[in-house]
């Protein structure tokens, strides 16, 4: 029988993932609890206040996260010592997740069109192993087509970013 323990397989254990997930959910639900409390979470004369539903959903997630966090820290179950993900597949996930995060930040700074062109070119080059000319050409064509479709034909402006590198276009 194969032993899938964290020490043998080399990766992230179920325990570490449960603790990390519970801690992240605990932090966000605590933030939402506080925000809902400030909005008002009670029942008023004209119905529920605006924070009523978010408060109780956040409270449920907060308590559930505490339980999972406690089980992750103090639990003795054998499954907690099993490997959640090995390093190889985890690096593959990160090779998609980190650029996606950078794309989201890029949209805020340089807008969706320029960020999408960089994202597409990067993915084609580093994940798809295409050459730079083909990657850059296709990225520009796709972003230009999206620009034409939204900005010119549909007349629906999309976010150009804080720095607005496409300001010279007049859109």
pLDDT along the chain (171 residues), means of 10: 51 95 98 96 91 96 97 89 93 95 97 98 96 98 97 95 91 83
pLDDT at 9: 53
Token pair 């032993």 is at which residue? 3
Residue 89 phi/psi, 5-degree rounding, is -65, -30
Nearby residues of 92 by Cβ (< 8 Å), 6 or more positions away: none
Domain boundary residue, one of 81, 106, 132:
81
Same-domain status, 56 and 104: no
Same-domain status, 43 and 108: no
Inside any domain, residue 38: yes
Same-domain status, 94 and 162: yes
Torsion sign over Cα 104, 105, 108, 112: negative
Same-domain status, 160 and 124: yes
- Other C-beta atoms closer than 10 Å to the C-beta of 15 total 19
Look up residue 144 and give its two tokens: 């230009």
pTM of the model: 0.72
pLDDT at 65: 98
Same-domain status, 30 and 92: no
Same-domain status, 131 and 164: yes
In total, how many domains does the chain have? 2
| Contact criterion met (CB below 8 Å) for 56 and 41 | yes
Domain boundary residue, one of 48, 81, 114:
81
Determine the Cα–Cα distance for residues 73 and 121; give it in Å rounded to an integer.
Answer: 43
The domain of 130 spans: 88-169
pLDDT at 8: 47
Residue 86 phi/psi, 5-degree rounding, is -80, 165
Q: Where are the alpha helices (DSSP H) in the chain?
A: 6-9, 14-39, 52-74, 87-110, 112-122, 132-147
pLDDT at 78: 85
Inside any domain, residue 1: no
Domain boundary residue, one of 37, 57, 81:
81
Inside any domain, residue 141: yes
Same-domain status, 39 and 107: no
**DSSP conformational letter for 82:** B
Same-domain status, 121 and 153: yes
Same-domain status, 76 and 94: no
| Contact criterion met (CB below 8 Å) for 14 and 60 | no
């Amino acid at each position: 029988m194969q032993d899938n323990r964290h020490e043998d397989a080399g990766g992230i254990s179920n325990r570490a993932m449960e603790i990390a997930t519970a801690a992240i959910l605990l932090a966000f639900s605590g933030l939402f609890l506080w925000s809902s409390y400030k909005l008002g979470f009670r029942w008023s004369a004209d119905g529920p206040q605006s924070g009523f539903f978010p408060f109780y959903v956040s409270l449920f997630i907060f308590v559930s996260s505490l339980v999972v966090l406690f089980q992750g820290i103090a639990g003795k179950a054998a499954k907690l010592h099993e490997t959640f993900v090995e390093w190889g597949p985890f690096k593959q996930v990160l090779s998609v997740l980190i650029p996606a995060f950078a794309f989201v930040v890029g949209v805020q700074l340089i807008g969706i069109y320029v960020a999408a062109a960089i994202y597409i070119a990067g993915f084609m080059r580093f994940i798809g192993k295409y050459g730079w000319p083909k990657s850059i050409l296709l990225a520009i064509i796709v972003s230009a087509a999206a620009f034409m479709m939204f900005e010119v034909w549909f007349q629906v402006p999309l976010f150009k970013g804080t720095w607005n590198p496409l300001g010279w276009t007049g859109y």
